[in-house]
């Protein structure tokens, strides 16, 4: 399977603990995005990487959230001192920014299965 | 800041009927995407609309984009039960990489 993968798929933690999620994008994709989705809502943008550079970060993202993409391949999202309000599905997506290779579907995002976080 | 609104939020329709979902956005954008999400699943890309007047069709779904009106439509023709899902549009503000998703339209097709 060459799609986007995310681990773990489910995470239950106690309030105040730190958690880290991993995303492995489609191998040739240079762009990677993190989103958060709560029940009944659309995905909410968290941050964006082009290769290893973090180019955009939501103002909604508090200092407790940090993301990395150290070698321009996989990415990690860490939440420190988790709160109950952090309970959500965390989605990762990747895309290819090259016009010629995208078959006209420029920057089409492919989503992973998500990591469901429950903070008790 | 860019706002994206979809309507209706909920849609229950009979098999065989036609209907249209609307996606309005508040600021200039030249790219719009449509996604489908089944319950408990992740998002699946449906359409990529890159220019004013773009129209894309696949099966019973057809999407169009009017950048001057800041409006995209997703038209469903002769609905079937398998189309039951939540549909999201997403817009990228010009000059950014930030995708803003609409609230979603939950579609239920009744047999």
Q: d(Cα B86, Cα B83) in Å, to the nearest integer? A: 9
Q: Do A56 and B96 touch (CB under 8 A)?
A: yes
**Residue A102 predicted with pLDDT over 70:** no
pLDDT on residue B35: 97
pLDDT on residue A20: 98
Please state, for a pLDDT cut of 90, what percent of chain B lies above it: 78
Token digits for B41?
């699943």
Chain B interface test: which of A43, A97, A104 (most B C-beta within 10 Å) = A43
Q: Is B26 exposed, middle or buried (0-12, 13-18, 19+ CB in 10 A)?
A: middle
Q: For residue B96, what are the CA distances in angstroms to A59, A69, B93?
A: 14, 19, 6
Please answer whether residues B111 and B15 qualify as being in contact, where contact means their C-beta atoms are separated by less than 8 angstroms: yes
pLDDT on residue A117: 98
Confidence tier at A28 by pLDDT (50, 70, 90): confident
**Residue A100 predicted with pLDDT over 60:** no
pLDDT on residue A98: 66
Confidence tier at B93 by pLDDT (50, 70, 90): confident
Q: d(Cα B43, Cα A93) in Å, to the nearest integer? A: 9
β partners of residue B13? B109
Q: Is B3 on the interface with A (CB under 8 A)?
A: no
Cβ-Cβ contacts under 8 Å, B98 against chain A: 45, 48, 56, 58
**Residue B91 predicted with pLDDT over 90:** yes
């Amino acid at each position: 399977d060459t799609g986007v993968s995310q681990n773990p798929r489910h995470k239950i933690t106690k309030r105040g603990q730190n958690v880290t999620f991993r995303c492995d994008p489609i191998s040739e994709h240079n762009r990677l995005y993190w989103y958060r989705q709560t029940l009944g809502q659309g995905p909410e943008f968290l941050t964006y990487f082009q290769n290893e550079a973090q180019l955009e970060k939501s103002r909604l993202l508090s200092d407790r959230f940090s993301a990395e993409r150290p070698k321009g391949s996989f990415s990690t999202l860490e939440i420190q001192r988790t709160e109950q309000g952090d309970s959500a599905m965390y989605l990762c997506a990747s895309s290819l920014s090259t016009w010629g290779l995208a078959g006209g579907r420029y920057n089409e995002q492919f989503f992973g299965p998500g990591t469901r976080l429950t903070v008790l | 800041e860019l706002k994206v609104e979809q309507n209706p939020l909920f849609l229950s329709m009979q098999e065989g009927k036609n209907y249209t979902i609307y996606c309005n956005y508040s600021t200039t954008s030249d790219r719009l995407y449509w996604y489908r999400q089944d319950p408990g699943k992740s998002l699946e890309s449906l359409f990529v609309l890159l220019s004013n007047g773009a129209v894309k069709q696949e099966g019973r779904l057809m999407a169009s984009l009017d950048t001057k009106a800041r409006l995209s439509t997703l038209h469903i023709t002769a609905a079937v039960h398998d189309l039951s899902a939540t549909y999201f549009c997403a817009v990228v503000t010009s000059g950014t990489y930030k995708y803003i998703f609409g609230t979603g339209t939950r579609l239920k097709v009744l047999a």
